Structure 1
C-alpha cells in the first residue's frame, strides 16, 4: 500500500491560510475583516494552484523522466522547473497582495524585494518538490520491504514444505526396519504398524498444501505417529497429553507436532534404561511440547533447520513467537495457537 502524501495537503494549505490571517492580524492590527477574507480566499486559491501544478508536473515526470532512469536528472528538473514556474506566478501575486494589504506603503520592486520574492518562491517550491521526492522513495522503500518479507516467507514456506514432504527419510528408514523385524515375529502387529504408517503419510499428502489445520486434526494424526514410535522403541517412548477440549478448534501449521517430537527423538537417548516421555500440553495461547533432557553424545540425521524453519514460518502467521526453552534439564518448545483457517 502506497503512502498517500497528498491526502494531508489540503489540511496543510488550510493551516497556512489560517496562519496568514493570524500573522496579518498581528502585523497589521487595523486591517479590515473584508480584506482578511479576500486575502484568505486568495491564499487558498494560490496555494491550491501551486499544489495542482506540482501534482501534475510530478505525474508528468514519472512518465517522462522516472527516478529509476536517472535520479539526479529527475531531482534537478523537478526542483528547477518547479521553482521557475512558481516564481513566475508568485512574483506578481505577491506584489498585488502587498499592494492590497498595505496601500499606504507603496511596494517598491527593488533588488532586495526581488531577491526576497525569489527566495520565498524557491523555498515554497523546494518544500513541495522534496515532499514528492521523499514520498516516492518512501513508497519504494515500503514496496521493497514488503517484497523482501514476501520472498522471505515464500522461502520459509518452500523449506518447510520440503521438510513436510520428505517427513524425514531417516524416520522412514527406521520405520521400514522396524516393520521388517515385525513381519516374522508378530505379523498382526506388523499389519497394524503398516496401517498406521500409511495413515501418517496420507495425512501429510492431504495437508501438504494447507497453511493451517485444526488442532484436533493434528492431534488425531500424531496418535498414528506415536504408535510407530512406541513400536520402534519397544515401549521406551511415551507421550502424555494435557489438551483442554475448548481449544480443539484452534489451528497450527501441519506436522508441527511431528517435527517437535522428531526433534526430541533425534537429540535424546531412548532405551529401556532411559525411557523418554514427551509432554504435550496447551492453554488458550500456546501449545507446549516438553521433555526431560537425555542428551545424545552424537546426533545423527540432523541439519538443524527443523526448528529454525518452524520459527520463521510462525513469525509470518502470529505476532507471538515460537519460544524455545532449554535450562539443561528440561527442553520445552512453545508454539502459538492460531485462529482456525476453516
Structure 2
C-alpha cells in the first residue's frame, strides 16, 4: 500500500511539473506582446522563473528520494558499495536531467533570447553548461543526503544500542537485587531457628521485630538506590534483631553523617557478612564500626577466626556487581590479620 502511494505521488509531482512547463510555454505569445523592460514583462518573467524553478527542484528532490528508497530495498550499501554508488548516481542524474531539460530549454529559448536578445547559437553551449551544472548539483545533493541519512541512522542505532544496554543493565540489576532478598530472608530464618532451639523467649521477640523489618524490606527492594539515612535505619533494625540473638557478643558503632545514596542492603549485607564469617562470643565479641571516609562508607570489623565457615558466594560479589551496574566508582575490600575493611562509594542523590 505504501509503495503504491509513493509511486502515485511521484507521478503526480512529475505530471504537475510538466503541466507547469507547458503552461509557461503557452504564455510566450503574451510574453512577446509586452513592451521590452516593462513592469508587466519583468513581473511575468520573475513569476515564471520562480514557479518553474520551485517545481523543478521539488520534482528532482522527490524523484531522487524515491530512487534512493527503491535502492535501499533492492540494493543496500551493505551488499555492494560500488554497485550502489554507481546505480544511485546514474539513476538520480538521469532523472534530474530528464526533468530539468524542458526547464532549461524554456529559460534559454523562451526567456533569454526574446527578453534579453541573446543569440540563439550561443545558447546551445549555455544549455550544455546548465546540464553539467545540474549534474554537479545533483551529485552534491546525493552526497549531502546520504551523509545526513548516515548520521541519522547512526544516531538511531546508538540510541537503540543504549536503550538495549540500559534494559540489559536493568535486567541484571533486578536479578542481583532479588538475589539479596531471599538471601536476607534465609539468614534471618536461620537465626530464628537457632533461637528457637536455645531461647524461646528471645525467639518470640525476634519474630515480632522481624515482621515489621521484613515489611520495609519488601518496599526497599524495588529501588535501585536508597538514601544513606534509610539504609542506616534498616541496618539499626537489623542489628537490633541480631543483638536479640547474640546479646553482648555483637557490637556496632554508627559514625555517619553524610547524605547521599547507596544500593539497598549495601551496608546490611556487609554487617551480615561479618557475622557469618566470624566466631562470636561474650569473651571475644564482634565489633563493627560504620563510618564515612572521603566519599565512601567504611565498614570495619575485627576478625575472629572460627572453625567452620559456610559461604554462599552472594555477599561481596553481589555488592560489587550491583555497583558496577550503576556507577564507575568501585567498592574496596581489604583484609589484614586483625581486621576486615569494606568501603562502598556514596552516590549522588
TM bucket (normalised to shorter chain) is: 0.5 to 0.7
Query: 3-state SS of the aligned residue for 2:290?
Result: strand
- What residue in structure 2 maps to residue 310 of structure 1? 319
Matched, 1:281 2:301: no
**Residue 287 of structure 2 contacts residue 301 of structure 2 at CA under 8 Å; is this kept in 1?**
yes
- What residue in structure 1 maps to residue 240 of structure 2? 227
Residue ranges of structure 1 left out of the alignment (5+ in a row) = 1-37
Matched, 1:131 2:148: yes
- What residue in structure 1 maps to residue 279 of structure 2? 270
- What residue in structure 1 maps to residue 209 of structure 2? 196
Q: Which has the higher helix share?
A: 2
CA separation of 1:259/1:312 partners in 2, compared to 1, >3 Å: closer, same or farther? same
- Structure-1 separation of matches of 2:147 and 2:253: 63
Pairing 1:12-91 to 2, within 5 Å after superposition: 53=62, 57=66, 65=73, 72=79, 76=84, 81-86=91-96
Matched, 1:321 2:334: no
CA separation of 1:89/1:239 partners in 2, compared to 1, >3 Å: closer, same or farther? farther
How far apart are residue 302 of structure 1 and its match? 1.7
Q: Name which of 249, 264, 267 aligns with 1:236.
A: 249
CA separation of 1:143/1:284 partners in 2, compared to 1, >3 Å: closer, same or farther? same
- Structure-1 separation of matches of 2:102 and 2:246: 93
**Residue 290 of structure 1 contacts residue 332 of structure 1 at CA under 8 Å; is this kept in 2?**
yes
- What residue in structure 1 maps to residue 6 of structure 2? none
CA separation of 1:144/1:79 partners in 2, compared to 1, >3 Å: closer, same or farther? farther
How far apart are residue 132 of structure 1 and its match? 0.6
Higher RCO, 1 or 2 (CA under 8 Å, sep at least 6)? Answer: 1
- What residue in structure 2 maps to residue 258 of structure 1? 268
Q: How many residues align?
A: 284
How far apart are residue 143 of structure 1 and its match? 0.7
CA separation of 1:167/1:214 partners in 2, compared to 1, >3 Å: closer, same or farther? same
- What residue in structure 2 maps to residue 8 of structure 1? none
Runs of 4+ in 1 over 6 A off after TM superposition: 44-48, 89-97, 109-117, 295-298
State which structure, 1 or 2, has the greater radius of gyration over its C-alpha atoms.
2
How far apart are residue 241 of structure 1 and its match? 0.4
CA separation of 1:85/1:59 partners in 2, compared to 1, >3 Å: closer, same or farther? closer
- What residue in structure 2 maps to residue 217 of structure 1? 230
Matched, 1:205 2:235: no
- Tell which deviates more after alignment, 230-239 or 71-80: 71-80
CA separation of 1:88/1:129 partners in 2, compared to 1, >3 Å: closer, same or farther? farther
**TM-score using structure 2 length:** 0.60
- What residue in structure 1 maps to residue 310 of structure 2? 300
CA separation of 1:87/1:156 partners in 2, compared to 1, >3 Å: closer, same or farther? farther
Query: 3-state SS of the aligned residue for 2:248?
Result: coil
- Structure-2 separation of matches of 1:121 and 1:322: 55
- Structure-2 separation of matches of 1:296 and 1:80: 82
How far apart are residue 136 of structure 1 and its match? 1.3
- Structure-2 separation of matches of 1:271 and 1:138: 58
Query: Per-residue displacement from partner, 1:132-165 (whole Å, max 9, x unpaired)?
Result: 1342144123212322222222221133123224
Residue ranges of structure 2 left out of the alignment (5+ in a row) = 1-45, 113-117
- What residue in structure 2 maps to residue 167 of structure 1? 184
CA separation of 1:111/1:274 partners in 2, compared to 1, >3 Å: closer, same or farther? farther
